[in-house]
Amino acid sequence: MFYRDGIIYRSTFLEGYSGIVHGFSARRGGVSTIDYLSSLNLTGGLGDEEENVRANTEIFAKAVSKGMIGGDSAVTAHQIHSAKVRIAGPGNRGEGFSRDRGEDCDGFVTDRSGILPIVRTADCVPILMAGTKPDGSYVIAAVHAGWRGSAGGIAGVAVEKMCELGCVRDTIRAAVGTHIRQCCYEVRQDFVDSVSEARDPGFAARHIARENGKYRADLAGMNLEILNEAGVSPDRVDVSPFCTACRPDEFFSHRASGGKRGTMGAGIAIISRT
Ligand SMILES: [Zn+2]
């Protein structure tokens, strides 16, 4: 279940792992003052001052970790709507915050403590995951899944990378954060064709409804199927009940704002070893 905790949202599924902290931001609690970025915008280059983005990242990191770690532990990358996931370590701390970003990607996996991978979204799907190794230590993931990444199977790629680091597959739990849901995600024929091509026509038919000549895509459904294929069954996946485009007062939404918007963050970190 998702619930609000101050300026962020958390999933009770991930809180079952006591050595992990995680959170999904919304719009409130930041320092950005321009109306469409107000106020917790986490991405530079959208019209915000760099120092605002840095201050917001600090605020977000503290909120996620209940004050235990700050923005200098954050790791962000330029996101490219791919299925590329990087394994991050202590050497990546501060990327995109206090130093240059590393290689472009749309997800991070780590088994090291004290680093906070953050993915950023404004309608796309943020996914946070955690699981354990046989010795009880943690492996975590943060994933940005737009429709290309969703159909491209990035959630499954992240699961495989977690298992490469030693995670036991059937310990993995996932939280699918707030994104544009099927109620508001109208798409065109070219979208249907692209999803069919990226995956297969059956996948497209299962997750894109057609009604009165209009198509609506279900990004959560796509990711639930991809995760299930990777061995993470739906009963281990928590899905946010909210929709960014239904609530542009609460969440940044690319669609609802016509593209003039900030971004939200989803971050996760290992705080203690077990
Ligand atoms: Zn909606």
Mean pLDDT to the nearest integer, 75-82: 97
User: If we measure between CA atoms, which residue out of 270, 268, 257 comes closest to residue 27?
Assistant: 257
Kind and range of the H or E run holding 100: none
What pLDDT does residue 273 have? 78
Average pLDDT, the chain: 97
Q: How many CA atoms lie within 13 A of 128 on its CB side?
A: 33
Q: Which amino acid is at 191?
A: F
2-270: CATH topology: CNF1/YfiH-like putative cysteine hydrolases (3.60.140)
- Burial group, residue 22, by CB count within 10 angstroms (0-12, 13-18, 19+): buried
Number of C-beta neighbours around residue 51 at 10 A: 10
Ligand 1 mean position, distance from CA 129 (Å): 24
Q: What is the pTM of this model?
A: 0.98
Mean pLDDT to the nearest integer, 199-215: 95
Ligand 1 mean position, distance from CA 96 (Å): 31
Which whole-number Å values give the CA distances from 223 to 8, 228, 232, in the listed order? 22, 8, 10
Write out the DSSP string of 151-162: HTTHHHHHHHHH
Segments making up each domain of the chain, as ranges? 2-270
Ligand 1 mean position, distance from CA 266 (Å): 20
Ligand 1 mean position, distance from CA 19 (Å): 34
By three-state DSSP, how is residue 54 classified? helix
Residue 274: is its pLDDT beyond 90?
A: no
pLDDT tens per residue, range 130-184: 999 999 999 999 999 999 999 999 999 999 999 999 999 999 999 999 999 999 9
Ligand 1 mean position, distance from CA 242 (Å): 8
